[in-house]
């Protein structure tokens, strides 16, 4: 039996087809009309089943590929259950993020750095470690004594930022630990190399002129965060305040210090060292340590016994007290982020039904300015189903919602560069995926999930970003592992494009760094903050021996296809600012809650490119967030529509292991496959990340601001109706004149790389 084909829907389709036959039989030209009716009936069944509408010689690449290289998952659905504004966010019980006030960023004399001779910068830099040993030690303000000279002790692998045990029952011992941790930080600061200034880019001319390995070394040194004496001193004072606050409630805890001053405190049993958790606790994630954020805070009348017996309430009260101390720039709960797939069909869905029933509410976008006569076409068998990368327009091989990647590859003679790095902060990557395991585009990544209860891999943070699955509650209807990060990374270019297998990515040649920050039931804000900084090369990870492990490929672009139904948390904004200040571009999904992005993070944060989702018509998808701070609308898909009439949903097709699949040529069911249609702003954001990677490959010396300006200048403007929706579904939006039932939703311009002008050789670029 074909996947998702129910007896009821089959009967409905056949009935509709027979009705068409009877009506048409009474008309003139009976033979011609009856034949057309049969074709329509067959097409109806094909849409329901997901069976191909492919002529035998229409796509030889697809027809000749093996079943496993072309099998896909995803059929048309009639309704999707999306997150709504009434749903509450969650936080990790006992985990608090805080940053002391007035910590000054590390900096050096920018003018002096720019005046340095290139030979001085790159001479004898064969590795980061060599530079660290030769760099002059800078003593922190809190430790005026001269820094120790480079010795065998300093040549050993550096230790990560320490953790401090806070025990109100042993305050003197806790303060001794604070003092020892402070001294360790001072010694580490003395051995740190001075970072490059906090500016948008290191001298582009130097980076362009230098050999690639030396340029990479310079980029790593420019990005890394130095431990400053100011940060050490402020964290020492903050530890004392935290100890006093815990003493008030008779609770113990542990605080992790950081290079940039952002601290994470774990309180009580639920926030204690994750290595102490039992297997049962690890298995019961959502029930054991996540709480719904009710917004009630800590009631004034709450007594001490009640607080001590309710870990979630204790978290609220300690957050409130730390804020009231005046010691901190911010104190906030450790919120739980989710991926931005639109949720699967409701359990009561009767099956699948044909899409395309809703009328179009906007005109066709303008055709690309240049006619392509000989397009570059990848030989990946599923390419013909990837409408999202096709030329923007109407006609064969084009899509009204296409982002013009094929035009860019052809006109710019550029499919990307391995010198450009895109980090994907997500659920990790399926390393065994057949289109990824041998891909030259995947660089070493990191697993930043600190809690084994969420990790689902038996441990905490390590150098293995493989995605073991993220199913939260196996008893929930339609529960399944999402392999979300694999789908996102595949769209950017993790899959080996033009290799005769599966799908193509937006940037054929790009370096993808997978950074796992989401696991079972989502991802902690504290892990995401560290993941962003690690991806940008600002802070190290920690190996099993406690040694620092830096990202050897600091990102030019970071993709965040994640979301939280809250205003942008201060700690997340801090993490984003820390990488964008060092020249990283951050791309964020706008979110799938049908609200303005100002209520959503990271799509509503500052210093990000916020991306809404469009369908195959180039119109905003019904689930997508919107708002004035949305910059771009990019292909996100709509699984309820089939506007191109190919019998398949207008979702975005990319890499991920799936079940309940089918062969797109024969329509026969296949148990397992490696490619799937999905929809969401999660799918839209990686198109923009891939586009920026192509622009960076086209012009390596361009600054982040120049790259963003080029992207924005190439956007196709949207008409009001192309960003509209029913006023009843989107409260607070503005009715469109002449269409009182339709309300405008600002969604940015449509991504269209065909509009990017070619670079002339006289301007220093390459065609």
CB distance 84 to 594 below 8 Å: yes
Alpha helix (H) residue ranges in 503-603: 525-535, 570-580
**DSSP character string of 734-766:** EEETTEEEEEE----EEP-GGGSPPPPGGGT--
The sign of the dihedral angle between the CA atoms of 539, 543, 545, 550 is negative
CB distance 77 to 639 below 8 Å: yes
Residue with structure tokens 């622009």? 695
Q: Which residues pair with 542 in a beta bridge?
A: 548
Residue with structure tokens 């006569």? 373
657 alpha carbon, distance to own chain's centre: 18
Angle at 425 between CA 476 and CA 270, to 5 degrees: 55
The CA distance from 416 to 506, in Å, is 9
Q: Within the chain, what is the greatest distance between any pair of CA atoms?
A: 101
CB distance 453 to 277 below 8 Å: yes
CB distance 365 to 359 below 8 Å: no
The CA distance from 444 to 467, in Å, is 14
Q: What is the C-alpha radius of gyration for the chain, rounded to an integer number of angstroms? A: 27
The sign of the dihedral angle between the CA atoms of 311, 272, 238, 132 is negative
Q: Which residues pair with 264 in a beta bridge?
A: 97, 256
**62: its two tokens:** 């697809």
The CA distance from 58 to 143, in Å, is 73
**422: its two tokens:** 């895109």
Judge whether 433 counts as a catalytic residue: no
Judge whether 484 counts as a catalytic residue: yes
CB distance 736 to 743 below 8 Å: yes
Judge whether 682 counts as a catalytic residue: yes
End-to-end CA distance of the chain: 51
Angle at 283 between CA 282 and CA 284, to 5 degrees: 95
Of 552, 108, 95, 115, the residue nearest 332 (C-alpha): 95
The CA distance from 427 to 457, in Å, is 12
484, 642, 650, 716: which one is catalytic?
Answer: 484
321, 426, 638, 643: which one is catalytic?
Answer: 426
343 burial type by CB count under 10 A (0-12 exposed, 13-18 middle, 19+ buried): middle
The CA distance from 340 to 482, in Å, is 11
DSSP letter (8 states) at residue 554: -
The CA distance from 474 to 82, in Å, is 19
CB distance 613 to 590 below 8 Å: yes
The CA distance from 394 to 402, in Å, is 10
49, 439, 610, 682: which one is catalytic?
Answer: 682
Alpha-carbon distances of 134 from 124, 129, 227, rounded to whole Å: 10, 9, 17
Q: Is residue 709 helix, strand or coil?
A: helix
The CA distance from 492 to 674, in Å, is 16
Annotated catalytic sites, by residue?
426, 484, 682
């Amino acid at each position: 039996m074909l996947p998702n084909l129910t007896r009821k829907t089959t009967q409905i389709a056949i009935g509709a087809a027979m009705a068409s036959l009877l009506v048409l039989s009474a008309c003139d030209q009976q033979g011609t009309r009856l034949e057309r009716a049969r074709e329509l009936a067959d097409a109806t069944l094909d849409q329901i089943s997901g069976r191909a509408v492919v002529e035998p010689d229409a796509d030889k690449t697809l027809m000749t590929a093996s079943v496993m290289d072309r099998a896909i998952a995803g059929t048309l659905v009639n309704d999707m259950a999306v997150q709504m504004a009434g749903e509450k966010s969650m936080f990790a019980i006992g985990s608090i993020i805080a940053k002391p006030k007035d910590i000054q960023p590390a900096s050096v004399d920018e003018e002096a750095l720019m005046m340095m001779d290139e030979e001085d910068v790159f001479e004898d830099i064969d590795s980061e470690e060599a530079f660290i040993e030769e760099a002059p030690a800078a003593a922190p303000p809190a430790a005026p004594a001269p820094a120790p000279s480079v010795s065998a002790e300093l040549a050993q692998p550096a230790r990560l930022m320490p953790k401090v045990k806070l025990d109100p029952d042993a305050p003197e011992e806790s303060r001794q630990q604070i003092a020892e941790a402070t001294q360790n930080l001072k010694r580490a600061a003395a051995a740190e190399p001075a970072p490059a200034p906090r500016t948008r880019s290191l001298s582009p001319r130097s980076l362009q002129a230098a050999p690639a390995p030396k340029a990479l070394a310079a980029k790593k040194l420019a990005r890394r965060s130095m431990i400053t004496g100011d940060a050490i001193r402020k964290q020492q004072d903050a530890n004392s305040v935290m100890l006093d606050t815990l003493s008030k409630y008779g609770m113990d805890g542990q605080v992790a210090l950081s290079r940039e001053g952002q601290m994470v405190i774990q309180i009580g049993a639920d926030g204690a060292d994750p290595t102490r958790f039992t297997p049962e606790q690890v298995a019961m994630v959502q029930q054991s340590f996540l709480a719904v954020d009710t917004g009630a805070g800590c009631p004034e009348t709450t007594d001490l016994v009640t607080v001590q017996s309710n870990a979630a309430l204790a978290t609220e009260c300690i957050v409130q007290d730390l804020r009231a101390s005046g010691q901190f720039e911010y104190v906030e709960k450790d919120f739980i982020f989710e991926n931005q797939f639109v949720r699967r069909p409701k359990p009561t869905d009767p099956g699948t039904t044909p899409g395309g029933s809703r009328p179009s509410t906007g005109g066709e976008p303008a055709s690309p300015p240049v006619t392509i006569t000989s397009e570059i076409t990848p030989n990946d068998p599923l390419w013909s189903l990837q409408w999202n990368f096709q030329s923007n327009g109407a006609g064969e091989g084009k899509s009204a919602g296409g982002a013009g990647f094929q035009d860019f590859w052809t006109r710019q003679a550029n499919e990307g560069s391995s010198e450009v790095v895109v980090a994907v902060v997500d659920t990790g990557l399926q390393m065994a995926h057949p289109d990824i395991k041998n891909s030259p585009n995947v660089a070493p990544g990191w697993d930043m999930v600190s809690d084994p209860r969420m990790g689902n891999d038996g441990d905490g943070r390590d150098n293995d970003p493989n995605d073991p699955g993220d199913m939260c509650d196996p008893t929930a209807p339609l529960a399944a592992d999402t392999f979300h990060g694999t789908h996102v990374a595949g769209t950017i270019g993790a899959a080996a494009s033009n290799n005769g297998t599966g799908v193509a990515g937006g940037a054929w040649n790009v370096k993808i760094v997978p950074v796992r920050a989401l696991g079972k039931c989502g991802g902690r804000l504290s892990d995401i903050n560290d993941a962003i900084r690690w991806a940008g090369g600002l802070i190290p990870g920690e190996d099993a021996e406690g040694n620092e492990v830096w990202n050897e490929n600091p990102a030019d672009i970071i993709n965040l296809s994640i979301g939280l139904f809250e205003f942008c948390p201060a700690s997340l904004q801090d993490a984003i600012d820390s990488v964008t200040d060092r020249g990283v571009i951050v791309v964020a999904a706008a979110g799938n809650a049908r609200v303005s992005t100002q209520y959503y993070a990271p799509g509503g944060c500052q210093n990000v490119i916020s991306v809404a989702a469009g369908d195959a018509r180039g119109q905003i998808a019904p689930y997508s967030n919107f708002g004035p701070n949305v910059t771009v609308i990019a292909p996100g898909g709509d699984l309820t529509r089939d506007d191109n009439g190919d019998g398949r949903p207008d979702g975005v097709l990319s890499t991920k292991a799936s079940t309940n699949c089918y062969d797109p040529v024969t329509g026969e069911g296949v148990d397992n496959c490696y490619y799937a249609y999905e929809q969401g702003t999660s799918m839209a954001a990686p198109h923009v990340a891939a586009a920026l990677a192509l622009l960076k490959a086209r012009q390596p010396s361009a600054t982040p601001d120049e790259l963003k300006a080029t992207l924005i200048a190439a956007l196709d403007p949207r008409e009001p109706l192309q960003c509209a929706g029913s006023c009843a579904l989107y409260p607070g939006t503005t009715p469109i004149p002449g269409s009182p039932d339709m309300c405008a939703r600002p969604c940015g311009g449509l991504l269209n790389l065909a509009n990017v002008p070619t670079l002339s050789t006289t301007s220093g670029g390459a065609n």
